[in-house]
Structure 1
Amino acid sequence: MEKAVCNHGFFMMAPNVWDPKSKSLTRPLTLSNSSSVSVTISHPRTLSFLVIQVHGINNVSRVDEELILQQVGRMLRISAEDDRDVTEFQQLHEDAKKYGFGRIFRSPFLFEDMVKSILLSNITWERTLGMASSLCILQSKLADGTVSSQTNKKRKRVVKARKETSGNFPSAKEIASLDKELINEHCKLGYRANWIVKLAKMVESGKLNLEEMESRDMKAEEVSEKLKKLKGFGPFLTATVLMCIGYYHLVPSDTETLRLFREQYLKYNDIIIVLLILPLRLTHEDNDESRQPSCGTGTNGYEDDRQSM
């Protein structure tokens, strides 16, 4: 299970909590009434199946049980289609089969993957982790009524100080009910807040059908064109989301990708690495996100380091 989870940075982003000692993943999942429940997923060596522990609920309904299984299945890519992809990949790369690699971790829902991809835009990895955590804290406040889209900004609410707790990752419905100013007040996402709110409203209005995009009935090129029409989705974000859906023909390359290539391969074969890096550099420089103004020079007052994860 560790190889199916700890294979790229999304597993480190809230609300995911990976325990390296028990090799288990804990996070909230969504129930049929839109509330959340904390679950822990593990794969004991003595068992041939996953163990899913549901916390805080004595009896889980059949409907909720099915929803939990669907979300776990999506995160760990447990399906006949995913098995076929892994088999084909491991046939091409013997080392992948030898070390049990081939599944790329993702979120319970595509919307979360898309928002987390946006959080990677022109920012340090530390700030990305902080923004994801802030969004989960905001979701907790939305769930308990501490924060509401109907809050009158002209009147200061007196709220007793309490320890901030992390909730689930906010859904498209929750984000669509908010404005970018409120999100930035709590999460400091900068220009990303505008992108995320617009994305959520498109999903909620039906203008963007995520289920259709993820059904794999659409060709990769069609999905790619839909993504590129979204605010902020240049080559890097598009490739990242395509990877989460299950299309692997584009490599999500950023400045960190270039750094790793230089460190690992440049000293061995300068000619080969130039051929590898040049397309990545062109993609990065042509990325819509890379042309966004730094928040430090804009009107929202948030300073962004122009680096990627």
Structure 2
Amino acid sequence: MLRFSEAEEKAVREFRSLHVVDHPNRSFSGRVFRSPTLFEDMVKCILLCNCQWPRTLSMAQALCELQLELQKGSPCTIAVSGNSKGESEGFIPKTPASKETRRNKVSTKGMFCKKKLELDGNLQIDHVVASSSTATTLLTTDNGDSEELRSHDSCHEFSNGNEYFSRTGNFPSPSELANLDESFLAKRCGLGYRAGYIIELARAIVEGKIQLGQLEELSKDACLSNYKQLDDQLKQIRGYGPFTRANVLMCLGYYHVIPTDSETVRHLKQVHSRYTTSKTIERELEEIYGKYEPYQFLAFWSEIWDFYETRFGKLNEMHSSDYKLITACNMRSTTNKRKRPSRKCQC
């Protein structure tokens, strides 16, 4: 949804005045979609971490399906003592999830190229290009947890029309998630280690330890002092490393920080021919987008949105079942490929 406010309107006008001179034909106008609640934004920022885009979509959809089941009173597992496994009778996970592990190793089967990218200071990604669809890569999160991902993360198919909406509810509220068992939530929605972070967040909100209203109030005046205060508060929440916090703060209207992950690295390499590392990424982002301060993120997003539409067509006309196609493997350059010489028969 779009949230309209005087502060947001002012930011959009100022960004356009800076940006339209350089890029008059880009479709992105400076307005960023937000969720109806800050809680939903915060959870979805966790879902972006350490997985491919199709799985992010899958986890978000599964949470909405779960909300409908909870609303209808379908049997599920709540957190009770003595039931650490969190199993419910007849339970069948609806969202296939990749195998997850805390072991610090990477499967090398079918692997012919491996790069290590260090992001966010604490986040390391072993980016694997593999010849087999079963190849895996290990991701280490901001909080030390590890996750093993397959090169083709599974994803729900988004159904058409009424069929989709008949089995999908709203995004679950903190009170709906707070009493669920972590193991049940992880299996039902394919969340893996994220389930623990999400349940802890929901419980802290329900118990009043985290006041979302106060965070929203601070964000009304998007000054640097408030940014620092909000960032410090988010640091206290388990699961919120630099990338996740930057995304949440962007949702709150702070556009001077660009969240950096493997997609940021890919974009700088492919569009700007920058061979970025964790030590150089902040400097390179400043060199490219610094002139649009304090709207560096909006300038970056305008550029990457234009890149996506060049590859996939108008995104507002794309069917929801195709959202999962917007992945790095579908953005590789198709130009400058060397032609193989034709092989002539020697008989």
- For normalisation by structure 1, the TM-score amounts to 0.59
> Which is worse superposed, 95-104 or 273-282?
273-282
- Cα shift at 1:114: 0.6
- Cα shift at 1:265: 0.8
- Cα shift at 1:77: 2.2
Corresponding residue number in structure 2 for 1:212: 214
Structure 1 residues 79 and 203, CA gap change in structure 2 (3 angstroms): same
Give 1 or 2: higher helix fraction: 1
Structure 1 residues 308 and 124, CA gap change in structure 2 (3 angstroms): farther
Structure 1 residues 158 and 275, CA gap change in structure 2 (3 angstroms): closer
Corresponding residue number in structure 1 for 2:235: 228
Corresponding residue number in structure 2 for 1:156: 89
CA contact (8 A) 1:139 1:168 kept: yes
1:139 equivalenced with 2:60 (yes/no):
no
Corresponding residue number in structure 2 for 1:238: 245
SS for the counterpart of 2:35 is coil
Report matched runs for 1:29-48 at 5 Å.
Answer: none
CA distance in 1, matches of 2:190, 2:89: 20
SS for the counterpart of 1:203 is helix
SS for the counterpart of 2:191 is coil
Report matched runs for 1:153-302 at 5 Å.
Answer: 156=89, 165-215=167-217, 216=219, 219-266=226-273, 278-280=280-282
CA distance in 2, matches of 1:186, 1:127: 14
* Alignment match of 2:2 (pick from 70, 76, 81): 76
Corresponding residue number in structure 1 for 2:13: 87
CA contact (8 A) 1:140 1:165 kept: yes
CA contact (8 A) 2:75 2:88 kept: no
CA contact (8 A) 2:62 2:188 kept: yes
CA contact (8 A) 2:16 2:30 kept: yes
CA distance in 1, matches of 2:19, 2:328: 28
Corresponding residue number in structure 2 for 1:122: 50
Give the unaligned 5+ runs of structure 2. Answer: 93-163, 286-326, 330-347
Deviations 1:121-179 (A, max 9, x none): 100111111111111111110000013455986773699xxx98111111111111212
SS for the counterpart of 1:76 is coil
CA distance in 2, matches of 1:136, 1:168: 5
Corresponding residue number in structure 2 for 1:105: 33
Structure 1 residues 91 and 187, CA gap change in structure 2 (3 angstroms): same
CA distance in 2, matches of 1:165, 1:247: 35
CA contact (8 A) 2:268 2:276 kept: no
Give the unaligned 5+ runs of structure 1. Answer: 1-74, 284-306
CA distance in 2, matches of 1:214, 1:256: 28
Structure 1 residues 97 and 175, CA gap change in structure 2 (3 angstroms): farther
CA contact (8 A) 1:240 1:252 kept: yes
> Which is worse superposed, 103-112 or 91-100?
91-100
**Cα root mean square deviation, aligned:** 3.3
Between the aligned residues of both structures, percent identity stands at: 40
- Cα shift at 1:90: 1.5
- Cα shift at 1:84: 1.0
Corresponding residue number in structure 2 for 1:27: none
Number of aligned residues: 204
Structure 1 residues 133 and 274, CA gap change in structure 2 (3 angstroms): closer
SS for the counterpart of 2:170 is coil
CA distance in 1, matches of 2:44, 2:17: 31
CA distance in 2, matches of 1:263, 1:280: 17
- Cα shift at 1:88: 1.6
- Cα shift at 1:184: 1.5
